[in-house]
Amino acid sequence: MKKLLLLLAVCCSCISFAQDELAQNTIKAVLAGNQSQVIQLAEAFPDDKYDWRPTEGVNSVGEALLHVAGGNYFLASKLGFAPPEDVDLMNLGKITGKENIIAALKKSNDFVLEKITMVEDGQLNDEVDFGFMKANKLGGLLAIMEHNGEHKGQLIAYARSNDIVPPWSK
């Protein structure tokens, strides 16, 4: 009987341990997939299309990519994670050139992926004022994922408008 109780206790702890950071790890996995596709789109656009925009007053390809990078840093900062010291948020939108824009986006992607799992389970329901909404930290993590997905869709439309096939669709 003692062995059975010990086995049951071990199984319960393993199940409980497996659930730690379940939300964070799930969001991280989906976000990493979105980020990968956004990078693939960024790489598929030729240099001369980075200034293309569907109409005046709408972000260009390069501006949309930098907006995603800025959003990563902004949302993470509201969750308590300051951007790296070498990131100048005020001038992020002034970065030019395909290679530089992709590098800035990749850096922000790596940063936000690292920070997601630093939000502890016990903090997921803590309220945060994001400026445009009040939500708990779980909502903030979902906002990061949704923001990347939203702009992936935008960039797919931009690509299709320029006869660029998203690489994973080929």
Q: How far is CA 66 from CA 1, 25, 47, 85, in A?
A: 61, 25, 15, 18
Reference 86, options 65, 104, 112; nearest CA is: 104
The model's pLDDT over 98-131, given as tens digits with 9 standing for 90+, comes to 999 999 999 999 999 999 999 999 999 999 999 9
The model's pLDDT over 31-86, given as tens digits with 9 standing for 90+, comes to 999 999 999 999 999 999 999 999 999 999 999 999 999 999 999 999 999 999 99
